[in-house]
Structure 1
Amino acid sequence: MKKASVLMIIGPLFLLGLFAFPLWNIMLGAPQYPDPLGMNIHITGIHGVSEFDLQNIDGLNHYIGMKTIPKPGEMWEFDIFPTVIIGMVILGVLIGILGYLDKVSYKWFLGWFLLMSILGVLGMYDFNAWLTDYGSNLDPHAIIKVTNADGTPMTYKPPLLGFQKMLNFDVTSLPSTGAWMMFIGMMSTLLAFYIGWRSNKSSLKKERVESQKGEFLETQG
């Protein structure tokens, strides 16, 4: 249980990488841009991969009626997400310490993992909803209006995950360093639960053997 608890303490600390590295990355490549334009989505805001990327992306989006890329103060998520991450790190480390002191069982490790998984799914849902609004809620007075074959307005929603062709742009959306650090941290807590379960199972087996041995000696006596 000690080894599992130490791993449980270490795992949530990986989430602190989200304050130093981007969670997600979206790249836009086109013939007129030898160096692709990129956005790094952090839990505190959106930054360009290069200095003028956001400015250039906003300039392109203006012609087709897309809104400008939001600043940190314009999205409540950039205020809430850092607090949630700090809260989950503190909670995870506290559970690990209490486990080390034999105050809580290994089942709490799984509870933290499940809670973090639920928050992660909700975060992805919210991110996808923002991408949908960003790419489909267009200004009707835009300079350029592109329609689908059936005449309906074309949407410019970037993919949540993977590759998509949008007009003459190749758009790629993938997890970045922060997301992988969060994944490692979460898998560490799941591994901590498994080690704790194995340790508890071994202890119960040993107790049964000792109990049966004691009963046998009593009958022989």
Structure 2
Amino acid sequence: MKKAGIIMIIGSLLLLGLFKFPLWNIMLGAPQYPDPMGMNIHITGIEGVHEFDIQNIDGLNHYIGMKKIPKPEEMWEFEVFPKVVGGMAVLGVIIGLLGIFKKLSYKWFLGWLILMTVLGVMGMYDFNLWLTDYGTDLDPNAIMKMTHPDGTPMTYKPPLFGHQKMLNFDVDSYPHTGAYMLFVGMLLTFIAFFVGKKEWKTNN
């Protein structure tokens, strides 16, 4: 399963792009901000798209009672996610190498993909929980208390995916380069499974 193993290794190594490129991006634009502010979410922390974006977003959030954007040491995810991604990349390379030397079945490629999919879904679920807490757990003593027409407090949860209007801000939340590399890597491991299946049947 030489071809399948090589494809598996390439797909697994693409996960390492998450250590360099952002996984997700959230942008906030408004008429008074001709240059939108934004956050790039990495597996190791959150960075501003521009130099003072985090500071400016925290400043705006203060008025409506939102928490400050967390530092890496304030969220366990930023310690665990790099270990998970690194571990899955190493595991994928090992499986690919063993596949090249015919030490295991092509089914291991699918097993790796299923495990990576489960971990990815859990990661997105956790990310959405954080967005919900970030946008709904507001300081009751905030300077501005915005309410809906029915009198209920307004929340400011950014969308997990897509566009949303929040007060006078347009908020866009979409995958970034790291997420696309992850997707391509997982797609390659899916291809490796079928290539491996074909090679396995040919040689047995």
The TM-score normalised by the length of structure 2 is 0.98
- Residue of structure 1 in register with 2:7 after alignment: 7
Give the letter for the 1:28 counterpart: L
Paired with 1:136 and 1:165, the residues of 2 have a C-alpha distance of 16
Partner residue of 1:174? 174
Aligned length: 204
Q: Answer yes or no: is 1:59 the counterpart of 2:59.
A: yes
**Which residue identity lines up with residue 87 of structure 1 in the other structure?**
G
- Given the alignment of the two structures, is residue 120 of structure 1 paired with residue 110 of structure 2, yes or no? no
Percent sequence identity is 71
Query: What stretches of structure 1 move > 3 A for 4+ residues in a row?
Result: 201-204
Structure 1 residue 143 and structure 2 residue 143: aligned?
A: yes
* Deviation (angstroms), 1:202: 3.6
Match of 2:197 in 1: 197
Aligned to 2:19: 19
Q: Once the 2 structures are TM-superposed, how far is the Cα of residue 201 of structure 1 from its aligned partner?
A: 3.2
CA displacement, residues 168-199 of structure 1 (integer Å, 9 cap, x when unaligned)? 00000000000000111111100000111122
Letter in 1 for 2:113: F
* Alignment correspondent of 2:185: 185
- In structure 1, the residue matched to 2:105 is 105
Greater C-alpha radius of gyration = 1
Q: How far apart in 1 are the matches of 2:135 and 2:70?
A: 13
Aligned to 1:213: none
Distance in 1 (CA, whole Å) between partners of 2:11 and 2:141 is 50
Counterpart code for 1:25: N
Alpha-carbon separation, structure 2, partners of 1:63 and 1:10: 47
User: How far 1:203 sits from its partner (Å)?
Assistant: 4.0
Gaps of 5+ in 2: none
Residue of structure 1 equivalent to 2:75: 75
Mapped partners of 2:19, 2:161: distance in 1: 22
Residue identity in the other structure for 1:128: N
Which one-letter code corresponds to 1:196 in the other structure? Answer: G
**Counterpart for residue 215 of structure 1:** none
Q: Which amino acid aligns with 2:23?
A: L
Residue 161 (structure 1) aligns with: 161
Aligned to 1:214: none
Query: Match of 1:198, SS?
Result: helix
Q: 1:123 is matched by which residue type in structure 2? A: G
Give me the whole-angstrom Cα distance separating, in 2, the residues matched to 1:83 and 1:188: 22
Tell me, in whole angstroms, the C-alpha distance in 2 between the residues paired with 1:203 and 1:98: 16
RMSD: 0.8
Paired with 2:106 and 2:8, the residues of 1 have a C-alpha distance of 9
Aligned residue for 1:102, secondary structure, equals coil
Partner of 2:133: 133
TM-aligned CA deviation for residue 150 of structure 1: 1.4
Q: Secondary structure of 2:28's match? A: strand
What is the DSSP-based 3-state SS (H/G/I as helix, E as strand, rest coil) of the residue aligned with 2:165?
Answer: strand
Aligned residue number for residue 50 of structure 1: 50
